[in-house]
Amino acid sequence: MAFEDKQLVCADCGRSFTFTAGEQEFYASRGLLNEPRRCPEDRAARKQRRGTDGGSRVKEMYPATCANCGNETQVPFRPTGIRPVYCSDCFSQIRA
Count of alpha carbons within 13 Å of 63, Cβ hemisphere only? 2
The band of 50, judged by pLDDT with boundaries at 50, 70 and 90, is confident
pTM (whole model) above 0.75: no
| Rounded CA separation 10/19 (Å) | 11
Can you give the residue ranges of every domain in the chain? 6-50, 62-95
Phi, psi of 87 (to 5 degrees): -70, 170
- pLDDT band at residue 49 under the 50/70/90 scheme: confident
Q: What is the mean pLDDT of residues 21-49?
A: 91
Q: Which pLDDT score is estimated for 54?
A: 53
The DSSP output letter for 68 is T
Mean pLDDT, the chain, rounded, equals: 89
What pLDDT digit, counting tens, does each position of 54-90 carry? Answer: 555 667 899 999 999 999 999 989 999 899 999 999 9
Q: What percent of the chain stands above pLDDT 70? A: 91
Enter the DSSP assignment of 35.
Answer: P
Q: Which residues contact 92 (CB under 8 A, 6 or more apart)?
A: none
- Length, in residues, of the chain: 96
CB-based contacts of 29, cutoff 8 Å, min separation 6: none
Cβ atoms 37, 60 nearer than 8 A? no
Structure confidence at residue 2 (pLDDT): 84
